[in-house]
Amino acid sequence: MADRYIEPETPEMRERWGSFTFNETWDAKAKAAIARYPDGRQKSAVMALLDFAQRQVGEETDTQGWLPIPVMEYVAVYLDMPVIRVVEVATFYTMYNLVPVGKFHVQLCGTTPCWLRGSDEIMERCKARGMKKGHTTEDGLWTLTEVECMGNCSSAPMVQINDGNYEDLTAERFDAVLDALAKGETPKEGTQDPDRHTVEPVGGPTTLTAMVGENHDYRGEW
Amino acid sequence: MPKVTVDGQEIEVPAGATVLQACELAGKEIPRFCYHERLSIAGNCRMCLVEVKPGPPKPQASCALPATDGQEIRTDSEMVKKAREGVMEFLLINHPLDCPICDQGGECDLQDQSVAYGRGATRYEENKRAVTEKYMGPLIKTTMTRCIHCTRCVRFSEEIAGVDEIGALYRGENMQITTYLEHAAKHELSANVIDLCPVGALTSRPYAFEARPWELKKTLGIDVMDAVGANIRIDSRGREVLRIQPRINDDVNEEWIADKSRYAVDGLTRRRLDKVWIRKRGKLEASSWDEAFKKIKAAKAGDAIAAVYGDLVDCETMFAAKALLKACGSTLMEGRQTGLVYDTSSLPAVNFNTTLAEIENADAVLVIGSQIRHEAPLLNVRLRKAAKKGAKFFHVGPEYDTTYPATFLGNDLSVLNSLSSEVVDAMKGAERPAIIVGGAALGRGALNKALALAAEFNVVKDGWNGFNSLHFSPSRMGGLLLGLAQKGGMADIVAAKPKVLLSLGADEMDFTVFPDALKVYIGHHGDKGAHAADIILPAAAFPEKAGTYVNIEGRVQRSEKAVFAPGDAREDWTILRALADALGVSVGFDSYNELRAAMFADTPALANEGLAVSGGTLPAGGGDASGVIGNYPIADPYLTNPILRASPTMQRCSAELWHGEEIAEAAE
């Protein structure tokens, strides 16, 4: 996160994004988001609007999307608020991309549970494909970011790629996911362990076993 | 009124007070960085921790905790001491140990408080955080590695200045304070963040590495860059004024001053008149006092002598000139150099009657022909406070960014003759309505119409006088109090065809209309007045003489002498006194004290500091207003007087901030 920076403004960026406006779909969503707040408090919708803007940029560039400076200015004007306040929000939350990203934004969790379950191995696989932390690959396909806990510790290790989580990874499973994405397929989200449905214990319950068939009162055994 | 106990001492505090304020009332010092009396509460530095019962058994941030009845507050317990030491140690983890090269050194809150409340040594051995410098314009120098994220500057620009341009980007350890895309801070009060910054992150760019605070002689002064009369402290070393800082005066400037008041100092050493000059064969040549006085005497003016006073002169100078003219048998004295004419027979009609502190309570304000933000920045701060409390604002004049919500009624003054029902209803329905008549309207004869509107809207009521004229010449109210105005303004002086014309630092006037007069310029800067003069007598600028100034609200304030005038330059009154001898007349004073005594006898209102024009009924006014305000009188707020025009800092501000030129940064 220490590497976060705002993509410097250039005349090319101005030219490409200076005329950015919400398209019909996102404009409707933006209006709906603003309508959730009382009159005069429309700036409360800034987080939603930045997200919508990033997604629309993503659609236009066929990536996860990011927030060029003119787009942040557009959101500020849309909400009638000072642009510095919009930039404060955009820089605070790591879900907003401040620099262009690739088609797939691979966010690899490296926090303790994932690390103990082999996130280093996943990182190796990423590097083998030419990914580098904080950078986008030459072909524009992958952007790698190492992130902190995403709350999937019971199915560690995990990566989040754009809006989908891929859990219970091993090097092979991870490669399979990336290969499928690269081919334009849509791999199954969630756990990649064929023996698991969600985060239930593999091979059946290991605790509260007496509860599997019927309700059981454990209180006498405490 | 809640009763609380602070360190065993029971005190009663006002309702709504915080624990920090309660401790201050009890005389306990609470260290703080982010808390500031005039800004909103942030509670992010944690330095003000105290122990409060009842409450959780941990130290609490006193700045954000309301004082409630029966609280037992301890500021001297072991827990508090340890908490302060801990917070201080954390703050210093990422703060560089560069005090010897830091301009804040010697007047740094962090330095002082780490001595008073810190552990004395660090246990931190890792690398410190480093932050890139941010460009904040020609006035503010940044060293962002020193920033402790108190966010005072962010809150100041949002709340007081009303220009959202500074923000805190990123988060946690990576948080950085910056302006949007590192554009220069573009408002007229920006440099106040330098005073607010408790560390050396934001320091003064023009004053960088100039001096240490303990080397400076501090003199109490009054600012003359605008007519608000901000209270300042003039810091000088030897013969040079090095910087100007605000003093706290809640009635006038609170604790802010405008950028041009602060940075005019480098104009004091440039383009100075330090020799007597006489025009010979169309060319100015250095000369002597004797020769100059002989030449003036040779003009044999008799009573055909007139004086025009400039914007920056003090009352003593004006009075000395008045006495000289009187001794010669003339009363031809005027200060409205650009030819403004309005009725000056009633002082309340040309005074800012509401007073600066009270205007905050106005609930509907009609501003006629004034670009307040640039004519009186500190008044704009007050009006913003009124706007925040819900006051409605209506402006007549060209549109500009007021920094608060306002309705512009158009450029044509005739709109005053038939105001829309929205304005009339707002003004008539208001409990404390106010009218502000600015220079652009005064010059177009709108004063009488404004007075009629004042009667119609009933702006003068019990305990409230809402009628205000707003001047931007700091000498104006003093001159009017001394009775130095002609009925027809400058036109009367021109019509009298004086043989000798004394220009007391008057640089904005038109000298070409006096082709036959001997033009004597008594002033301190080689500006427009000196270019047109036949004789130049070098005088003292405002920090070089003690003087009395009267601000827009008719407040008499005295300024002290900080340094000596350069070279042959003398204090203005001594020049006029010597001139009286040369002309062979007697003005009736030989010393500064005698001059003041004579002035007080002449105009008793100047004898006491404080509001001199209060009470008095407003004239009825009447008639219709007409005329279109094409432009406001101040074309460039950074270059409104000869000192500012001589200042490189102000020239750069003008180019970069007002005219929007790109200035390339020199590589450092």
ipTM of the complex: 0.86
Q: With contacts defined as CB-CB under 8 Å, which chain A residues touch B166?
A: 84
Q: Do B164 and A84 count as a contact with CB atoms less than 8 A apart? A: yes
Q: With contacts defined as CB-CB under 8 Å, which chain B residues touch A4?
A: 170, 174
- Residue-wise pLDDT for B616-652, tens only, equals 788 888 888 888 998 898 989 999 999 999 999 999 9
Q: Do B170 and A92 count as a contact with CB atoms less than 8 A apart? A: yes
- Residue-wise pLDDT for B363-418, tens only, equals 999 999 999 999 999 999 999 999 999 999 999 999 999 999 999 999 999 999 99
Q: How far is A103 from chain B (nearest CA, A)?
A: 25
The answer to whether residue A219 scores a pLDDT higher than 70 is yes
Residue A77: what pLDDT? 95
Residues of B at the A interface, defined by Cβ within 8 angstroms: 164-174, 179-181
What is the DSSP secondary structure assignment for residue A109, as one 8-state letter?
Answer: E
Q: How far is A6 from chain B (nearest CA, A)?
A: 9
Averaged over B534-558, what is the pLDDT? 95
Q: Could you tell me which chain A residue has the CA closest to the CA of B175?
A: A92
Q: Do B181 and A69 count as a contact with CB atoms less than 8 A apart? A: yes
More confident site: B665 or B244: B244
Averaged over B231-247, what is the pLDDT? 95
Residue with token string 């709340």 = B159
The answer to whether residue A69 scores a pLDDT higher than 50 is yes
Q: Do A92 and B181 count as a contact with CB atoms less than 8 A apart? A: no
Q: Is the distance from CB of B143 to CB of B203 less than 8 angstroms?
A: yes
More confident site: B582 or A207: B582
Q: With contacts defined as CB-CB under 8 Å, which chain B residues touch A91?
A: 169-171
Q: Which two tokens stand for residue B204?
A: 């003064």
Q: How far apart are CA B395 and CA B570, in angstroms?
A: 44
Residue (of B442, B439, B453) closest to B226 by Cα position? B439
The answer to whether residue B665 scores a pLDDT higher than 60 is no
DSSP, collapsed to helix, strand or coil, labels residue B435 as: strand
A4 touching chain B per CB within 8 A: yes
Q: Do B167 and A4 count as a contact with CB atoms less than 8 A apart? A: no
Amino acid at position A139, single letter: D
Q: How far apart are CA B613 and CA B351, in angstroms?
A: 7
Q: What share of chain B is helix, strand, coil (3-state, %, to 5)?
A: 35, 20, 50
Q: What are phi and psi of B467, to 5 degrees?
A: -95, 125
Q: Do B167 and A92 count as a contact with CB atoms less than 8 A apart? A: no
Mean of all residue pLDDT scores within chain A:
92
Residue B664: what pLDDT? 59
Q: Could you tell me which chain A residue has the CA closest to the CA of B132?
A: A5
Residue (of B188, B190, B199, B195) closest to B136 by Cα position? B190
Q: With contacts defined as CB-CB under 8 Å, which chain B residues touch A83?
A: 180
Q: Do A84 and B165 count as a contact with CB atoms less than 8 A apart? A: yes
Q: Which two tokens stand for residue B245?
A: 């800082």
Averaged over B507-511, what is the pLDDT? 93
Residue B290: what pLDDT? 95
Q: Is the distance from CB of B226 to CB of B476 less than 8 angstroms?
A: no
The answer to whether residue A2 scores a pLDDT higher than 80 is no
DSSP string, B482-524: TT---TTTHHHHHHT--SEEEEES--SS-GGG-TTSEEEEEES
A69 touching chain B per CB within 8 A: yes
Q: How far is CA A28 from CA A17, A35, A38, A54, in A?
A: 20, 11, 18, 15
Residue B668: what pLDDT? 44
**Confidence band of A220 (pLDDT split at 50, 70, 90):** confident
Q: Do B164 and A4 count as a contact with CB atoms less than 8 A apart? A: no
* Mutation site, A10, A69, A88, A89, interface B, largest B CB count within 10 A: A88
Averaged over A76-94, what is the pLDDT? 95
**Partners of residue A191 on adjacent β-strands:** A167
**Confidence band of A151 (pLDDT split at 50, 70, 90):** very high
- Residue-wise pLDDT for B276-312, tens only, equals 999 999 999 999 999 999 999 999 888 999 999 999 9
Q: How far is A1 from chain B (nearest CA, A)?
A: 8
For chains A and B, CB pairs below 8 A equal 34
Mean of all residue pLDDT scores within chain B:
93
What's the CA angle centered on B266, arms B261 and B267, to 5 degrees? 80
The answer to whether residue B666 scores a pLDDT higher than 80 is no
Show binding-site residues of A for [2Fe-2S] cluster: 109, 114, 149, 153
Is-cis flag, bond preceding A157, omega within 30? yes
Q: How far is B380 from chain A (nearest CA, A)?
A: 20
Q: What share of chain A is helix, strand, coil (3-state, %, to 5)?
A: 45, 10, 45
